[in-house]
Amino acid sequence: MDLKRFVVACAYRAGSPPFPVKSTLPPVLLSFHAATLYAAGSLLVAPPSAAHVAGGAGMYALLTFGITGGHHRYFSHRSYRTSRPFQFAIALLGSLAWQRGPIWWSSHHNHHHLHSDTGRDPHSPVTGSWLWSHMGWYWASAEHDPPLDKFARTWRSFPELAALDKLHFAPGLLLAASLYAYGGGGALLWGFVVPVTCCWNSIFAIGSLCHGDLGGGTRRFETGGADTSTNVWWGLAAHELDATYAALRALETLGLVWDLKFISSWSPNESL
């Protein structure tokens, strides 16, 4: 796919060298967004069944937890412990969101933290365009396709995680096929396409609108360095009003996770 080199690779960041533009992912991105816009319009014209809407909302919650509670909180920051079977379960859940596997995701996220809002940050609106930071770095550019060995060594020691990282699209394809076989196009649209698209944008917005000046958020903690992260309405949910933590506490009660790490006391003026 060309599409003017996918809108010049989603307005790639200033000073970036030329890089290959992906050929398969841009059509997925564009078609999923078109289908989601169609679904949004249908709410006014021909409302879907309550089961479809409830199923879509539930799937969105699960996929978002797979990213925030799994790929982010566990595989990137190791903020709790769990068993090996449940470790794979949350890795599988995160992979259903079609944001790649846990090894790739966590390695690039840790690289982002190490170089937040500098020229080496892969998805900062400070060093590039908003469109680049929101989705261009991931969907259009092949520049960041390989996982980063420096941050990937621990999880590569688990063969099941390494296999899932290579076949990260397979779980989503199986889910999509199952939904279509069970409930036709409506189940596929509301049970997979819409939740995945909403999850993409809510997660990517944390990087694109919760960094830099565009989101217009506020900061309660001084994070130091060049980092410009702020709280806007979805970033507040990501950074402070922590639904993921509430879910993890519930899983802790069930004995599925343990040793949760959290800030026991803080001051708004305290540096993180």
pLDDT digits (tens, 9 = 90+) for 147-175: 666 667 788 899 999 999 999 999 999 99
Torsion over CA of 215, 122, 147 and 106, rounded to 10 degrees? -30
pLDDT band at 144, cuts 50/70/90? low
Is the pLDDT assigned to residue 218 strictly greater than 70?
Answer: no
Neighbour-count burial of 41, counting CB atoms closer than 10 A to its CB (0-12 exposed, 13-18 middle, 19+ buried)? exposed
Number of domains making up the chain: 1
Span 222-248, mean pLDDT?
62
pLDDT of residue 269: 47
Q: What is the CA radius of gyration of the chain?
A: 19
Structural domain containing residue 250: 32-113+158-258
Note whether residue 230 is domain-resident. yes
Is the pLDDT assigned to residue 2 strictly greater than 50?
Answer: no
Report residue 264 as tokens.
């026991």
Note whether residue 43 is domain-resident. yes
pLDDT of residue 204: 84
pLDDT of residue 133: 73
pLDDT band at 215, cuts 50/70/90? very low
Span 228-256, mean pLDDT?
72
Are 103 and 147 in contact by the 8 Å Cβ rule? The answer is: yes
pLDDT of residue 43: 86
CB count in 10 Å sphere of residue 86: 16
* Low-confidence winner among 1-15, 29-43, 108-122, 217-231 (lowest mean pLDDT): 1-15
Note whether residue 62 is domain-resident. yes
pLDDT of residue 158: 95
Note whether residue 96 is domain-resident. yes
CA pair distance 271, 107, nearest whole angstrom = 25
DSSP 82: E
Beta bridge partners of 21: 141
Note whether residue 135 is domain-resident. no
Are 63 and 172 in contact by the 8 Å Cβ rule? The answer is: no
* Mean pLDDT, all residues of the chain: 78
Are 103 and 155 in contact by the 8 Å Cβ rule? The answer is: yes
Residue 231: helix, strand or coil by DSSP?
strand
More confident residue, 86 or 117: 86
H/E stretch holding 130: helix 130-131
Most confident of 15-19, 152-156, 214-218: 152-156
pLDDT of residue 235: 46
pLDDT in tens, 229-240: 555 544 444 445
Note whether residue 231 is domain-resident. yes
pTM to 2 decimal places: 0.80
Note whether residue 41 is domain-resident. yes
Is the pLDDT assigned to residue 13 strictly greater than 70?
Answer: no
CA pair distance 136, 183, nearest whole angstrom = 33
Span 121-142, mean pLDDT?
69
Are 211 and 75 in contact by the 8 Å Cβ rule? The answer is: no
pLDDT in tens, 37-86: 999 998 888 888 999 999 999 999 999 999 999 999 999 888 999 999 99
Span 262-266, mean pLDDT?
59
Span 188-217, mean pLDDT?
80
Note whether residue 138 is domain-resident. no
Chain centre to alpha carbon of residue 13 = 20
pLDDT of residue 189: 96
